[in-house]
Chain A
Amino acid sequence: MSKKRKISLSEDELVLALRNHEKVAIEALYDMYSSSLYGVISRVITDTATAEDVLQETFVKIWHSFSSYSTEKGRLFTWMVNIARNLAIDKLRSKDFKNQNKNQELENNVAFIDEQRNTTYKPELLGIKELVETLKPEQKSILELVYFKGYTHVEAADELGIPLGTIKTRLRMAIQQLRKYFN
């Protein structure tokens, strides 16, 4: 990874360059954010090839619809990660993807099921485990559902069988916990 010189710009420079559709902007954008976005995508979609497709679609969409982003509405990453998560969740719920999973060859099933149940060893997932350990179990589950599984807070309330207000509070507490952790 570090063989290539990575391009890095300040967020303001990057936004300006993206607005002008400069070639360097998309390269910088990829170098700066692809791993963060791929981290989110690959937790929503465990299938590597599909996750890679979604990452590509994410960058194409960012590039294409950049005019709809405004700095006043928030940070660039927030806008991008929501695009990535929505594409990933759409893909996860799409008919094609479901059918694809149903049509898995028999010999691949062991690995597939292992992957689905997260029993395979994924070193890149170590980080989140460590971090999420600092969260209380109920905070962790709500964050998992909403952030990585694409549940809405309403769906999460159903899933966990707790009131909507509680969901919101727990989510807030989880993020508060993260804020403490990062500070």
Chain B
Amino acid sequence: MTATKGSNKESKDVSKKDVFQAVLLADNFENYIFGENCPFVPEGLISLNNRKVIDYSLEALISSGVHEIFVYSTRNTAELKDHIKNSKWSSLGSTINVVSSEDSQTLGDAMRDLDAKALVRNDFILVQAGVITNIALRPLLDKFRETVKQDKGAVMTLVHRKMSLGHRSRPRNVNHIVTVDSRSGKIISYNFKLSGKKLSIPLKLSIPLESIQQPEMDLYLDTVDTGIAVCSSCVLPLFTDNFDFTNMNDFIRGILINEEIMGNSLYLQRLESGFANRIVDFDTFKGISLDILQRWSYPLVPDMPLGAGQSSIYPFNYNFTYKGNNVKIDHGAEVGPLVIIGHNVEVGKSSSVVNSSLGDKCKVGQHVKITNSFIGDNVTIEDDCEIHEAVIAGNTTILKGTELKPWVLVEGKTQSRIALPNAEDDDESDSDSDIVPAGGQEGSDYEIDDDAAPGGIQDDDFIKFSGEVLDSLQRGFEENVATENLVLEINSSKYAYNISFKEVTVALTKGVLTLVVNLNPGFQEVALKTQWAKQKETILKFKDLFQHYIKTEESQRDLLNALEEYANDHLYYQPMLMQTLHCLYDDDILTEEAVLEWHSSESLYAAGKKLRSLVQQFVSWLENAESEEDSD
């Protein structure tokens, strides 16, 4: 830790090449810790145990000897700038620059903006909003540079902390499953499975072929993203190149899927000691607050100064209570354990405060019960109140006898419920719930299929993908787009959603069948003959496309299953199934064997038997043709 020793003088001497840079995001973007109506904006200015969240992050960076820190802010920049200036951080020998842009809505935007501004010149540490850590960051950077020597494509090391499931400081809805090459720490797959508190190990874990030949792999479930990442200088340009990356998950997914094409790879550094965690929701906020009071984050504890100048210190007392100056606690009051009380606070008779933080100049009346709550500065709580798991913003008065329900945020006279973590981005989370293996398509080919129904893959990505395929087909039909271009379009959607070939077949088949209905209003009312004529037209139109995708027996099976499923779901189509089979057979897309095998196989659908009897005529024709050939 010689870096901090040198202060101003040394940091100026350091050659430009070795400037230790870090990007600290003050905003959490789409994740709101206290829900969308949170008055504390940006997240960095939320008060955690009477200090601002951003101060903890800055302290971590500065004590690790970072020379140049870029604080990126999108909202309330003036307040943030004032705060940083008043804390006199810059006198500690590191330069702190506040970079702001009101336009950045997502982490991706912020990264692209930083790239455009060309401030970061070499490898840097990316610290997201709400990171609290006491680990030394320099060794992480050094280790990353070692990794780069071994693997030129390494673009980022994600820093995780070992943390068991159900840990109080773990985000409830985020359960990453990360597969890593034990030797190098290279990430093989990264699963953003979001589920309830219970975690089921997915059977559908796709592992790419080459990784099976690897001597050892580690699969981590008890791991939490600390929000710290060591990035190479090409991370920012990568965000610029891929304008659809909005958050870190997009980035991780994008890098892993295109690993083979782009040659970029990700690494994982999983810490087993030291404190590193990130506030992302109210659960983690509560947990980390207690962790700090229990001194896990030492030296980031209330009795140690943060920053330079006269930062407030709350001395440590018995029973893990921290009290500021001039605190008056009645003899009959019970305070602690795990409580921090700001300066000039009064606590009245028979009141109890447990696992909570009270800001400066608060007044707590008599017979008040406060547990697991976070109370800002200048708050008056009148007699006989009960406050559990609540957040009270500064300058608020809680009237006599109030009982606050858990998970409530009080600001002035308004009360709002703190949203359940990730409740609002449920739709998004589902789309995140797939598995991203390195090298995309191979991954899916080796999956252990736990879906009973062959066509029953119904996750959100697939639905989105099907939609895109249908759009491509429609345009292809109307504008006569060349088959090669259609293939290109479908393939790009395939990569974007990480879709297997099997699913492509299903989507294509159903797309062609649905297309007719979409193109011809009132299609289902017209005569069967007209229906088939139109249907045949589309099938023939996309003959080449079918031929491109359906080459193996496996894919023929998928095609047949898809047709069967479609017929099962759509009554109008059932009479046309036989003609479709015939048509595809004539075009050499389906082989005789495939059709016969399908026909004799056990059906998985309700209408399976009926459908098989509907196509009996065609099948027997096939069988006859075969026997005739045989007899020849």
Q: Do A and B come from one complex?
A: no
**B residues neighboring A (CB under 8 Å):** none
